[in-house]
Amino acid sequence: METKTAKLLDGKALAEKIHQELSVRITESQAKIGRPPGLAVLMVGDNPASAAYVRNKERACAKVGIASFGKHFPTETTQAELESVIAELNQDEQVDGILVQLPLPDHLDAVTLLHQIDPDKDADGLHPVNLGRLVRGEAGLRSCTPAGVMRLLQEYDIPLRGKQAVVVGRSILVGKPMALMLLEADATVTVAHSRSLDLSAIVKNADILIAAVGRPGLITAEMVKPDAVVVDVGMNRVTDASGKSRLVGDVHWESTAGVAGFITPVPGGVGPMTVAILLQNTVASYLRKAGS
């Protein structure tokens, strides 16, 4: 009997397509506006994973024609210094998007810094004003990872209206905004988490399953409904017995790919989409300011 394999939801390919669309849009708008869009990424300290993420974002900016106003601060930078930099960037006409790369050193308060960012320059879509707009179904900058997931589902013509969607994870970064976006698309949404009783039974109902908890291999094949759409937001670095490390998701990919109808790979699924939506948010802010 032929072994079934789920169709891939290829975030890498779709991100590439979005980059090309943004590049064309920027080229067309720049002549009229007189400058490129600008994104400022603030990084504090020398976390190697953060440095890699920031380089990745800056490379993506360069590829589509967004100017980077990245600022790298030493670990001992104070809260007041960072707030002052954000206030300057809020006023800077060249800057359309601002984001603070997390995690921050322990002495800094990330939430307070986020609150200082002008909501219309909030490239990460995480400011309370933008989350409020999402709750109310109003236009605004959307949280990058869940918005990337929605765009991926749309690209593959996956119907959401009336479907049972289960989001595993309730973080403000992914789980909560993800549930709201699925509700907005007329899905019937359940949010499960580490305190949920009988997680398997909840997950088994899902036509659309979003795993976003940060626990490697938490979702196994027997928990997944046949032909379900499985989106793995998890990015976990694991080290095998030989000392080699690799990235894995929250879903046990090898077994689940034999049950699901569609599945995202890790890496190459949701990760590239997060960066693509970050750029899209920056360009949206740029065009709105220019009235185009």
> Which of 122, 124, 207, 232 is flagged as catalytic?
124
- Tell me the C-alpha distance between 251 and 216, whole Å: 7
- Tell me the C-alpha distance between 20 and 105, whole Å: 35
Does 288 count as an annotated binding residue? no
- Bridge partner list, 67: 38
Residue matched to tokens 């938490």: 218
Does 261 count as an annotated binding residue? no
> Which of 101, 116, 176, 225 is flagged as catalytic?
101
Does 169 count as an annotated binding residue? yes
- Tell me the C-alpha distance between 25 and 66, whole Å: 11
DSSP-assigned letters across all residues of the chain: -PPP-PEE--HHHHHHHHHHHHHHHHHHHHHHHSS--EEEEEEES--HHHHHHHHHHHHHHHHHTPEE--EEE-TT--HHHHHHHHHHHHH-TT--EEEEPSSPPTTS-HHHHHHHS-GGGBTTS-SHHHHHHHHHT---PPPHHHHHHHHHHHHTT---TT-EEEEE---TTTHHHHHHHHHHTT-EEEEE-TT-SSHHHHHHT-SEEEE-S--TT-B-GGGSPTT-EEEE---EEEE-TTS-EEEE-SB-HHHHTTT-SEE--SSSSHHHHHHHHHHHHHHHHHHHHTT-
> Which of 57, 163, 176, 225 is flagged as catalytic?
57
Active-site residue flag, 10: no
In sign, the C-alpha dihedral spanning 266, 269, 272, 278 is negative
Active-site residue flag, 57: yes
Residues acting as catalytic residues: 57, 101, 124
- Which parts are annotated binding residues? 169-171
User: Binding site membership for NADP(+): which residues?
Assistant: 169-171
